[in-house]
Amino acid sequence: MFQKEEMAANGTGVTSPRTPLKSILTEKAKGIPNDSAGTVKAQTIEELHSLQRKRSAPNTPLQGTAGAFANLSEDERQRQQLQSISASLASLTRGTGPKVIRGDPGGGKYQAVSHVAHHHHHIEAPVISVSDSSLKFTHVLYNLSPGELYEQALKYEKGSFLTSTGALATLSGAKTGRSPRDKRVVIDDTTQDELWWGKGSPNIEMDEHTFMVNRERAVDYLNSLDKVFVNDQFLNWDPKNRIKVRIVSCRAYHSLFMRNMCIRPTPEELENFGTPDFTIYNAGQFPCNRYTHYMTSSTSIDINLNRKEMVILGTQYAGEMKKGLFSLMHYLMPKRHILSLHSGCNMGKDGDVALFFGLSGTGKTTLSTDHNRFLIGDDEHCWSDDCVSNIEGGCYAKCIDLSKEKEPDIWNAIKFGTVLENVVFDEHTREVDYTDKSVTENTRAAYPIEFIPNAKIPCFGPHPKNVILLACDAFGVLPPVSKLSLAQAMYHFISGYTALVAGTVDGIKEPTATFSACFGAAFLMLHPTTYAAMLAEKMQKHGATGWLVNTGWCGGSYGSGNRIKLPYTRKIINAIHSGSLLKATYEKTEVFGLEIPSEIEGVPKEILRPENAWADKEAYKNTLLKLAGLFKNNFDTFTEYKIGEDKKLTEEILAAGPIF
């Protein structure tokens, strides 16, 4: 149509070209370049993108000449760093590590390092001189920032999304929790005598050869990839007892998770990192060989304390790395006369520290997170001769039914940098529905501890003043609070009691007692009495008081009684912190022999003594005796072990249990 109009206008049958419009310039615009900001200093779009990302430099000045790399040039430091990583990835059959190169595949030219020989622990194996993996480069994505890991996850990992608050939502695959029956520990001449084996132990043995088979499988898989993620980080905020760990993984999700959960080194510390004390090989996307000796499924989590290595096959659940390192600390720290603890920890403004022990559902996270106190940590700690310190650099919080009203600190911590595991969100708004259990009930958030406003950084403090043992007693016979003697504290610490109620586990119709030694039996390496003896020694030496706090039921068992109200429990905890509860008048209960206060400000007097809250006194007595019998049966496992240097403490602890 437009062409016909032009033809009509000039009266010919030939199309005439359009006359270009003249540039219109105002008086002010005359003499001003077309781009008032100037032209970009780039010849290609790739060069322009490179200008967008400036290279970061250490913001911590290097001090003195300490450290393995302190006096080296940047190129030499990176070369040695790559050599260290190549040695970590060394294959047993080839005896050398892969060719490694820093950076994302196709991301430009980076410094590379050829094969690095690795010295094995007297393991003989055939030498294979040529292989496909030896001809390729493995790209190393080293200690990436959250932004860089987001980019990797969103681009390459299916199931990764950005939520409305800026957190990274991921999926952990088929496994949405730990696989304790697939965890193995190498038994050798040393560990055979040192570790806790047999009845009640979480440690299932495997031999050195089988570990090496699984290690080879994991390393070969990692070396077959175009890229691997490498994190060099620390465990334990106590600078005297810090452990260097290296995590080699194949998912950005795993790298970001561990970046959040371990202690993040400063640029200076990273430059001087050197050789790690322990290495994790996470090849969780690849299964183990089910026909390998000791394997019971396609999943295997293997720890070799002699080699200082951990191998993960057949599970992508990130919590395996966190708890594997916790098991390591349960082995290493007692060797230094340091007590490793599965507990929360906070500190008052006057420097008074409290430890909180408790199994799932007891309120450990809720009660240790207190706006009036500083949070040292929520899960894993060490108690040395100098201080109590957090092992981790982050928090791993449950998200099921999370709300801003109930858990404002956790809610607000779910932002950019946080990993959200297995949550469900609106496909359009990306808002998370924390009540949705479609993927799993074990939805989690992993975030750096500094995301909590009242976190104490660095995460350590003075010796604890109070040791609080939490139990959710669904039988309704334990008092809301009891002051414990040292022997009683040890008895209940070794017992590690709580109760499951209907709804938490399928098939449960009435309260079921659960015992987990030291409130974390799944992660113990040594016998529970070893940790109990150390706790008794430290409590006695530093004058800490033990308390048993029931956050469960009163006035009857689950189904007939009522859950103790959280405000009442908080009043009890506050009275412990302030020291006012030490000044109360106490009376002793029957059977368990617990000392209970006659009154606490703000707490109804009738619930302090359990039998007073029960309408049916006979039912109360029968239920009390039933729970006492469960305690006694559970503790029979530990009666043959000596606690401490002589039998005196052992006899006192046995006498501190229920008498009926």
Tokens of 411: 């809610």
> Is residue 58's pLDDT more than 50?
no
Alpha carbons within 13 A on the beta-carbon side of 635: 24
Q: Is 635 helix (H, G, I), strand (E, B) or coil?
A: helix
Termini Cα distance of the chain: 105
User: pLDDT of 298-307, one tens digit each?
Assistant: 999 999 999 9
Higher pLDDT, 60 or 635: 635
Question: In this structure, what token pair is assigned to residue 455?
Answer: 């976190």
Sequence-distant (6+) residues with CB within 8 A of 539 are 467, 486, 489, 546
Which pLDDT score, from 0 to 100, does residue 503 have? 43
**pLDDT bucket at 84, cuts 50 / 70 / 90:** confident
Strands 278-283 and 309-313: parallel
Q: What distance in Å separates the CA atoms of residue 636 and residue 238, rounded to the nearest whole number?
A: 36
Q: Is pLDDT of 380 > 50?
A: yes
Secondary structure of 288-310 in the HEC alphabet? CCCCCCCCCCCCEEEEECCCCEE
pLDDT confidence of 97, banded at 50, 70, 90?
confident
**CATH class assigned to 464-656:** alpha beta
Of 15, 16, 360, 438, which is the active-site residue?
360
State the average pLDDT over residues 601-629.
Answer: 96
pLDDT tens figures, 348-367: 999 999 999 999 889 898 89
pLDDT in tens, 636-648: 988 877 776 667 7
538 is catalytic: no
360 classed as catalytic: yes
Of 215, 322, 364, 527, the catalytic one is 364
Q: Which helix (H) or strand (E) holds 587?
A: strand 586-588
Determine which one of 201, 365, 389, 482 is catalytic.
365
Catalytic residue chosen out of the listed positions 183, 381, 444, 538: 444
251 is catalytic: no
Place of tokens 């009738």: 606
pLDDT of residue 128: 39
Band of the pLDDT at 567, cuts 50, 70, 90?
very high
* Torsion of the alpha carbons at 453, 456, 458 and 459, rounded to the nearest 10: -110
Lowest mean pLDDT among 132-146, 285-299, 337-351: 132-146
Catalytic pick among 323, 456, 483, 492? 323
β-strand 300-304 against 183-186: which pairing, if any?
parallel
- Of the options 3.30.1600.10, 3.40.640.10, 3.40.50.1360, 3.40.449.10, the CATH number for the domain spanning 140-338+384-451: 3.40.449.10
Among residues 288, 319, 296, 324, the alpha carbon closest in space to that of 211 is found at 288
Give pLDDT, residue 98: 82
CA torsion, ordered 52, 54, 55, 61, to nearest 10 deg: -160
Higher pLDDT, 26 or 118: 118
Q: Which of 3-12, 461-470, 646-655 has the highest mean pLDDT?
A: 461-470
Give the angle 555-519-297 at the CA atoms, nearest 5°: 115
The answer to whether 264 and 451 have CB atoms below 8 angstroms apart is no
Q: Is 259 a catalytic residue?
A: no
Least confident of 100-114, 259-273, 391-405, 419-433: 100-114
Looking at every residue in the chain, the average pLDDT score rounds to 87
- Residue 400, CB-side half-sphere exposure with 13 Å CA sphere: 10
Catalytic pick among 379, 527, 529, 569:
379
Find out whether 354 and 465 touch, Cβ atoms under 8 Å.
yes
Confidence of residue 52 (pLDDT cuts 50, 70, 90): low
Residue 647 among the catalytic residues: no
Rounded alpha-carbon distances, angstroms, from residue 116 to 83, 90, 133, 169, 265: 6, 8, 14, 37, 25
Q: Is the pLDDT of residue 27 over 50?
A: no
List 342, 463, 465, 483, catalytic entry: 342
Looking at residue 94, its pLDDT comes to 63
Question: Mean pLDDT across the stretch 393-421?
Answer: 95
**Which tokens belong to 384?**
């040395």
Question: Is 571 annotated as catalytic?
Answer: no
Q: What is the pTM of this model?
A: 0.85
Strand partners, 191: none
Statement: residue 14 has pLDDT above 90: no
Rounded average pLDDT over 58-71: 47
CA 104/CA 119 separation, integer angstroms: 29
Tokens standing for residue 606: 């009738």
Flag whether pLDDT at 597 surpasses 80.
yes
Contacts of 238 (CB under 8 A, 6+ apart): 382, 384, 386, 387, 389, 460
Burial of 134 (0-12, 13-18, 19+ CB in 10 A): middle
Record the tokens describing residue 118, joined without a space: 């690795």
Strand partners, 345: 355, 377
Q: Which residues, including other chains, have CB under 8 Å from residue 250's CB and lie 6 or more apart?
A: 221, 222, 225, 228, 229, 282, 283, 284, 285
Tell me which residue has tokens 């033990």.
546
Rounded to an integer, what distance in angstroms lies between the CA atom of residue 61 and that of residue 267?
Answer: 9
SS3 (DSSP) at 368: helix
For 441-478, the pLDDT digits (tens) are 999 999 999 999 999 999 999 999 999 999 999 999 99
Strand partners, 140: 102, 228
Overall average pLDDT of the 326-336 stretch: 98
Measured at the alpha carbon of residue 558, what is the angle toward residues 556 and 564, in degrees to the nearest 5? Answer: 70
Sequence-ordered strand ranges (E) for 160-236: 161-162, 168-170, 183-186, 205-206, 227-235
How do the domains of the chain map onto residue ranges?
140-338+384-451, 464-656
630 vs 444: CA distance, rounded Å = 32
For the stretch 150-177, pLDDT in tens is 999 999 999 999 999 999 999 999 999 9
**What percent of the chain has a predicted confidence (pLDDT) above 70?**
82
pLDDT reading at 576 higher than 50: yes
Give 564's DSSP letter. Answer: P
Q: pLDDT, tens digit, for every residue of 478-525?
A: 999 999 999 999 999 999 999 976 444 444 557 899 999 999 999 999
**How much of the chain, in percent, has pLDDT values that exceed 90?**
72
C-alpha–C-alpha distance, residues 624 and 473, integer Å: 11
* 188 among known catalytic residues: no
